[in-house]
């Protein structure tokens, strides 16, 4: 127990990085997801095809393999470490890979949200002369985003869990910090327990919040 | 004002409009009647390009809608439409429903758009509802807002697709009154409706459609009292 108390600041420092990576990845993932969703809904076969390949590849391979491939695999054929810097490249690449991974799921959330908007809304927008772009921007997306919020909050919880896979590629987060502390204190039980409790508290709170939003949205059908 | 020449529309193998030709003059009120599935909605939706004509020609105020080079979005600014299900923007309040067109499509200022919107809301009898959301209004009120939304674009023509058939009977009158006022103000309108009394009262001309054909057209008194075509006669016998 003493080991936990002694190292709590260190663990919380790790948690801080976990949350930084999560937030960066979620923001990027929403952008990637939105682009992929719009591509998949577009009329162009090429854009549709590209988006489908992206979504399927990232959903049908394990995140850990994606991380190893992009962080270590690509540097075997491209001088990425030189371009971005020895220290920066793994962090940038890992964050982007995580965002691409989550973005593949988020694109399906966004797509379902867009498709869930009543066709009559689009026709009404067209009838007052809105272009497809303006219809999407002012009518469809605001309505779609509202109903996408609960699943997006859930996906954020998933993203925080997924950041634990950054530790195996040598990026400092909560898990990585924990491993270092364990190697110094030989207290795997209490340290892993505390790590699990920290994850649980955050993720449980977020998914409760998502559930609350969902219930509220059902009451308020707007 | 509107010129339709040999308009055809098919959905896959299903021929819905089989060669419609007619002309709608400036300030004329044309009422379209006919049995369910005869293609009335499809005809109306072709007039603002919500459905793309399969062949034929539609000209609105000198602009050929059926020409692929025509900017359809620009043209739609001049052709207002009201739907059976109102289709108000659910995430916007009543005022915003009306201002969004002038602001985002015509790039007018917020002040100017709101002033116009309030004027229009007063005109349709809903001056006190501007902060409400669509789902807080009755069907009749929603349809009147939808009319105001269309009018905010200062259209040259208004299209109505069964504007009262989703309404409770006691609300039909308030919507028809607003449309009747528009007719008096000289708005050019094409109205699909099952309200035969209303058609007779405000219509300058009635078009009867059946199975994708324009069967008969003429002044309401002639069509209703003395229809020439068998199909018109049997339809009217059923609905009158
Ligand atoms: N998007 C579409 N895809 C396929 N078929 C369609 C489509 N829209 C309409 N139709 C068909 O076209 C025919 C005419 O439909 P339309 O809605 O124009 O009739 P209507 O005269 O307006 O009927 P109602 O009085 O019931 O509104 C119907 O058989 C309908 O099923
Ligand atoms: Mg119809």
Tens digit of pLDDT at every position of chain B (240 positions): 999 999 999 999 999 999 999 999 999 999 999 999 999 999 999 999 999 999 999 999 999 999 999 999 999 999 999 999 999 999 999 999 999 999 999 999 999 999 999 999 999 999 999 999 999 999 999 999 999 999 999 999 999 999 999 999 999 999 999 999 999 999 999 999 999 999 999 999 999 999 999 999 999 999 999 999 999 999 999 987
Q: What is the pLDDT of residues A45-94, one digit of tens each?
A: 999 999 999 999 999 999 999 999 999 999 889 988 889 988 889 999 99
Contact A124 B88 (CB under 8 A): yes
Whether the predicted pLDDT of A221 surpasses 60? no
Q: What is the pLDDT of residues A18-48, one digit of tens each?
A: 999 999 999 999 999 999 999 999 999 999 9
Is A118 near chain B, with CB under 8 Å? yes
What's residue A220's pLDDT? 66
Is B79 near chain A, with CB under 8 Å? yes
Counting from 1 in the atom list of ligand 1, the atom nearest the Cα of B35 is 25
CA B231 to chain centre: 24
Confirm or reject: Cβ of B129 under 6 Å from ligand 1. Answer: no
- Cα of B41 vs centre of ligand 2, distance in Å, is 4
- Cα of B51 vs centre of ligand 1, distance in Å, is 11
Q: Which ligand gives the minimal distance to the CA of B39?
A: 1
Which residue, among B206, B212, B178, B210, has the nearest Cα to B193 in the 3D structure?
B206
* Token duo for residue B102: 């002038």
ipTM: 0.93
Query: Count of CB atoms within 10 A of residue B184's CB?
Result: 10
Q: How far apart are CA B150 and CA A110, in angstroms?
A: 30
Q: How far apart are CA B94 and CA B237, in angstroms?
A: 41
Tell me the C-alpha to C-alpha distance, in Å, between residue A171 and each of A17, A21, A180.
9, 10, 12
Q: Number of CB pairs < 8 Å for A and B?
A: 67
Q: What's the first-to-final CA gap in chain B, in angstroms?
A: 31
**Helix ranges (DSSP H) in B91-240:** 94-100, 110-123, 139-151, 169-184, 196-202, 220-225, 230-239
Which residues does A165 contact at the CB level (< 8 Å), separation at least 6?
A: A63, A64, A67
CA A176 to chain centre: 19
Query: Count of CB atoms within 10 A of residue B171's CB?
Result: 18
CA-based nearest residue in chain B for residue A119: B87
Whether the predicted pLDDT of A215 surpasses 90? no
Question: Which pairing describes strands B29-33 and B188-192: parallel, antiparallel, or unpaired?
Answer: parallel
Tell me the C-alpha to C-alpha distance, in Å, between residue A191 and each of A1, A180, B165.
9, 10, 68
Query: Count of CB atoms within 10 A of residue A171's CB?
Result: 22
Quick check: pTM over 0.80? yes
Judged by phi (left if over 0) then psi (alpha if -120 to 50, else beta), residue B49 lies in left
Contact B91 A124 (CB under 8 A): no
What's residue B145's pLDDT? 97
C-alpha angle with apex B145: B131 to B183, nearest 5 degrees? 150
Which residue, among A2, A23, A10, A42, has the nearest Cα to A202 in the 3D structure?
A23
Nearest to A146 among B79, B91, B101 (CB): B91
CA B160 to chain centre: 2
What's residue A222's pLDDT? 52
């Amino acid at each position: 127990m003493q080991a936990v108390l002694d190292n709590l600041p260190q663990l919380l420092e790790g948690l801080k990085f976990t949350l930084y990576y999560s937030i960066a990845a979620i923001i990027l993932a929403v952008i990637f997801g939105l682009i992929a969703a719009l591509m998949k809904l577009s009329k162009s076969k090429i854009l549709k095809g590209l988006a489908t390949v992206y979504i399927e590849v990232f959903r049908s391979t394990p995140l850990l393999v994606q991380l190893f491939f992009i962080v270590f695999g690509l540097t075997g054929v491209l001088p990425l470490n030189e371009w971005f810097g020895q220290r920066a490249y793994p962090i940038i690449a890992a964050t982007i890979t995580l965002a691409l991974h989550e973005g593949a799921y988020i694109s399906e959330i966004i797509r379902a949200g867009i498709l869930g908007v009543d066709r009559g809304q689009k026709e009404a927008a067209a009838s007052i002369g809105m272009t497809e772009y303006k219809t999407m921007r002012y009518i469809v997306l605001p309505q779609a985003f509202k109903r996408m919020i609960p699943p997006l909050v859930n996906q954020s919880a998933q993203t925080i869990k997924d950041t634990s896979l950054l530790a195996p590629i040598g990026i400092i987060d909560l898990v990585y910090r924990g491993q270092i502390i364990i190697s110094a204190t030989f207290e795997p039980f209490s340290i892993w327990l505390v790590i699990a409790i920290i994850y649980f508290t955050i993720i449980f709170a977020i998914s409760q919040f998502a559930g609350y939003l969902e219930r509220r949205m059902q009451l308020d059908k707007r | 004002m509107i010129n339709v020449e040999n308009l055809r529309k098919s959905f896959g193998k299903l021929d819905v409009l089989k060669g419609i030709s007619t002309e709608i003059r400036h300030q004329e009120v044309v009422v379209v009647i006919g049995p369910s599935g005869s293609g009335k909605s499809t005809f109306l939706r072709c007039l603002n390009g919500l459905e793309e004509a399969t062949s034929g020609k539609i000209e609105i105020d000198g602009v050929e809608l059926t020409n692929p080079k025509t900017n359809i979005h620009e043209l739609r600014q001049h052709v207002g439409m009201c739907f059976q299900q109102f289709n108000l923007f659910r995430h916007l309040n009543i005022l915003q429903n009306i201002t969004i067109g002038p602001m985002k499509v015509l790039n007018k200022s917020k002040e100017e758009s709101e002033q116009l919107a309030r004027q229009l809301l007063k005109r349709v009898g809903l001056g006190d509802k501007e902060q409400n959301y669509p789902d807080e209004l009755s069907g009749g009120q929603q349809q009147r807002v939808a009319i105001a939304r269309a009018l905010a674009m200062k259209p040259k023509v208004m299209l109505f697709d069964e504007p009262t058939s989703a309404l409770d009977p006691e609300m039909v009158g308030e919507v028809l009154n607003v449309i009747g006022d528009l007719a008096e103000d000289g708005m050019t309108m094409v109205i699909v409706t099952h309200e035969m009394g209303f058609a007779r009262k405000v219509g300058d001309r009635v078009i009867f459609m059946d199975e994708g054909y324009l069967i008969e057209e003429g002044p309401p008194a002639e069509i209703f009292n003395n229809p020439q075509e068998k199909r018109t006669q049997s339809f009217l016998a059923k609905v009158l």
